[in-house]
Amino acid sequence: MLNIKNLHAGVDQKNILKGINLEVNPGEIHAIMGPNGAGKSTFASIIAGKEDFEVTQGSILLEGEDLSDLSPEERAHKGVFLSFQYPVEIPGVTVTNFIKTAINQTRKAQGLEDMPAGEMLQKIKTVSEMLDIDRKFLSRSLNEGFSGGEKKRNEIFQMAMLDPKLAILDETDSGLDIDALRIVASGVNKLRNEKNAVIVITHYQRLLDHIVPDFVHVLMDGKIVKSGTKELAYELEEKGYDWIKEALK
Amino acid sequence: MELKEKFISSFLAVDDYLNEDSVLHDIRSAAIKNFEASGFPTKKSEAWKYTSLKSLLHNDLSIFPRQEATVEFKDVRKYFLHDLDTYKIVFVDGQYSAFLSSTTHEGMDVCLMSSALTKDKYKAVIENYFNKVAPQDGLNALNTAFAKEGAYIYIPKNKEVEKPIEILNFYTGAESSLMLQPRNLVVVEENAQVQIIERHQSLSGHAVVTNALTEVFVSQRAQVDYYKIQNDRPEASLIDSTYVKQDRDSVCSVHTFSLGGQLIRNNLNFYQHGANAMSIMKGITLIEGKQHVDHNTLVHHIAPNCESHQDYKGVYDDNATGVFNGKIYVEKEAQKLNAFQQNNNILISDKATINSKPQLEIFADDVKCSHGCTIGQLDEDALFYMRARGINEKEARGLLMYAFANNVLESVKIPELKKRINRLIALKMGVQIGFDL
């Protein structure tokens, strides 16, 4: 599904990603872990199409199609979803109105009619129940005054509504207490099927107890320096990252 | 002959028609003298530093239309809040249009300035209030000298007016170079309430300059909500001066929606004469091309325990220029005051300009005054966030600008009006947002 080859990218002459290779197949969950400043969030933003970064080498293919020249919205229309580490507050636009706009713009790009209002309401109802979201929450301004946990839950709500092929969860666990973490994780698990894939970016192994990865990659200094299965996450939790650094020397 | 001299000599012509005995005669004579002394404001004056009237005030301007113009209801229907029952006071090229208006004298007066100025029945109110709060120099003096028509609104004690009042000024372009001088007087007695919507609308591509002057008196415990829709053609210019005098425990809000026009200058002045008065000033400015909008506000706090809130948002595209000049003046007696002023601006183009200047003069020692001003571009992170959710860049920008201006709309108390302004803004942004915010 996602095929990243020798990806180099940076900003203002500064290289942040220095040759990333990653292959994600449908139905898989990949975890990307790494110390602060390793380039994890940059990597996520680049897949989603953030224009601040310049891709200098390599390619990102989604189902065989090169994403390099596509705008963020075009990538979203093709099924890429990024759950933000720091979701942006947009006062004056309610959660419901925002997601309606996002869904209908995506449908328009795919040559579909607007989602009928009844269907939209039903979907909102189902998803908010699944994520234990109070209906009142949906008529609040997007992320405005939300707690860290509410913001993250709202990201997963949007993910469920948009039903992407590839979901990238950037530090979705930060700011979540254990109960919220369980709800969010179970939401992600319920959305999983053999056709979609998830990339989980995290510092801690904690989230991976709930969203169990097929593969764990360690991103350091702009490169994937080690890959393994979920056991690698436990090892990192226990020993930190220094031993990998040592091993690389 | 310069425009100023031309106007002064045409005053002598009107003067003949005025009854020598009337109070008005003295007021007008004094006004023309004041105008003669002060003339039109220039950029030399601090309050007009960023707004020049020079290009507007050309010598062809005349104050009186030579012929009467009429308009068909169907041509102007869209400028009314037609999905709502309202009182209407309508003027066409400065003349009252009985046909388009819907006035009343039942338990209050919603009618014409010309009859209020001439009929005995209104004499007491006119003597007490007319020309009593607006300082008499320059443009105000010019208006006072020439104003013949406008809205006269008198709401007696304890009256809650159930329908909003619309004041509409249409300009047909039948006469090409008019400088209109509409004059409104709003007197709201103790514990009464009223909502007013004012609009100036040019119906053709002819240049017009409107020099409007409105005086508002809000008695104790009364409430006035005043909405100004400024969405005119790019050839039309408006100088809109509003003076509000408030007694104790009164509330007055003025919302100004500046969405179109060649040059708009708003002089909005509040004088709080009684304790516990609350003044609210809100504005949305959304302009493009070479349009220019200048908000010049003053809150004069004279009594204790009062509040004032100012919140102005501006979005400027192309070569548009904006000015916000907000002055808060706190007298020694105005203790326990809470004054708040906020002016946030977004410049969409590199060539757009905003001059924002808060001024606070505080002579009391136990007050809370705050002001803030921001000038920036659209938040790129927010833009990326929305685009990453599949919202196209154009819509995302539109939605963000909407969101930016939205909290000013929240305090609009007439739902139909709020909807209308929402639609105007969406139209202006050129976005189809599939919902009403």
Which domains, from first to last, does chain A contain? 2-88+148-248 (3.40.50.300)
Which residues of chain A, if any, have pLDDT below 50?
Answer: none
Domain check: are B184 and B64 in the same one?
A: yes
Reference A30, options A227, A184, A215; nearest CA is A215
Q: Cβ of B390 and A158 within 8 Å?
A: no
- Strands A80-83 and A166-170 come out as parallel
Is-contact B204 B232, C-beta < 8 A? no
Domain check: are B56 and B182 in the same one?
A: yes
Domain check: are B246 and B107 in the same one?
A: yes
Domain check: are B244 and B392 in the same one?
A: no
What part of B 84-123 touches A (C-beta under 8 Å)? none
Distance from CA of B390 to the nearest CA of A (A): 4
Is residue B228 assigned to a domain?
A: yes
- Give the chain A residue whose CA is nearest to the CA of B403: A92
From B219, B239, B274, the end of a domain falls on: B274
Among A73, A85, A104, A170, pick the best mutation site for testing chain B contact (most B Cβ within 10 A): A73
From the list B384, B391, B435, the residue facing A50 with the nearest CB is B384
What part of B 396-425 touches A (C-beta under 8 Å)? 396, 399-400, 402-407
3-state secondary structure at position A223: strand
Chain A CB contacts of B395 below 8 Å: 101, 105
Tokens 């969409």 map to which residue? B348
From B252, B274, B296, the end of a domain falls on: B274
User: How far is A95 from A141, CA to CA, in rounded Å?
Assistant: 6
Tens-digit pLDDT profile for residues A127-160:
999 888 888 889 898 999 998 888 999 999 999 9
Distance from CA of B343 to the nearest CA of A (A): 17
User: How far is A209 from A205, CA to CA, in rounded Å?
Assistant: 7
DSSP alpha helix (H) spans, A111-173: 117-130, 135-138, 148-162
- Give the chain A residue whose CA is nearest to the CA of B378: A90
Is residue B335 assigned to a domain?
A: no
Is residue B340 assigned to a domain?
A: no
Domain check: are B399 and B253 in the same one?
A: no
User: How far is A68 from A47, CA to CA, in rounded Å?
Assistant: 9
CB contact burial A127-165 (16+ within 10 A = b; e otherwise): bbebbebeeebbebbbbbebeebbbbbbbbbbbbbbbbb
Q: What is the pLDDT of residue A91?
A: 82
CA A63 to chain centre: 17
Is residue B78 assigned to a domain?
A: yes
From B248, B274, B300, the end of a domain falls on: B274
Ordered per-residue pLDDT tens for chain B, 437 residues? 689 999 998 887 776 555 666 778 889 999 999 999 999 999 999 999 999 999 899 888 888 777 777 888 888 998 998 788 999 999 999 999 999 999 999 999 999 999 999 899 999 999 999 999 999 989 999 999 998 899 999 999 999 999 999 999 999 988 778 899 999 999 999 999 999 999 999 998 888 999 999 999 999 999 999 999 999 999 999 999 999 999 999 999 999 999 999 999 999 999 999 999 999 999 999 999 999 999 999 999 999 999 999 999 999 999 999 999 999 999 999 999 999 999 999 999 999 999 999 999 999 999 999 999 999 888 899 999 999 999 999 889 888 888 888 778 889 999 999 988 988 887 887 666 554 43
User: How far is A207 from A87, CA to CA, in rounded Å?
Assistant: 19
Is residue B75 assigned to a domain?
A: yes
Q: Cβ of A88 and B399 within 8 Å?
A: no
Domain count, chain B: 2
Is residue B89 assigned to a domain?
A: yes
Distance from CA of A217 to the nearest CA of B (A): 24
Domain check: are B257 and B405 in the same one?
A: no
Domain check: are B83 and B231 in the same one?
A: yes
From the list A52, A90, A97, the residue facing B382 with the nearest CB is A90
Is residue B298 assigned to a domain?
A: no
Is residue B350 assigned to a domain?
A: no
Determine the structural domain holding residue B20 and report its residue range. 3-274
Q: Cβ of A102 and B389 within 8 Å?
A: yes
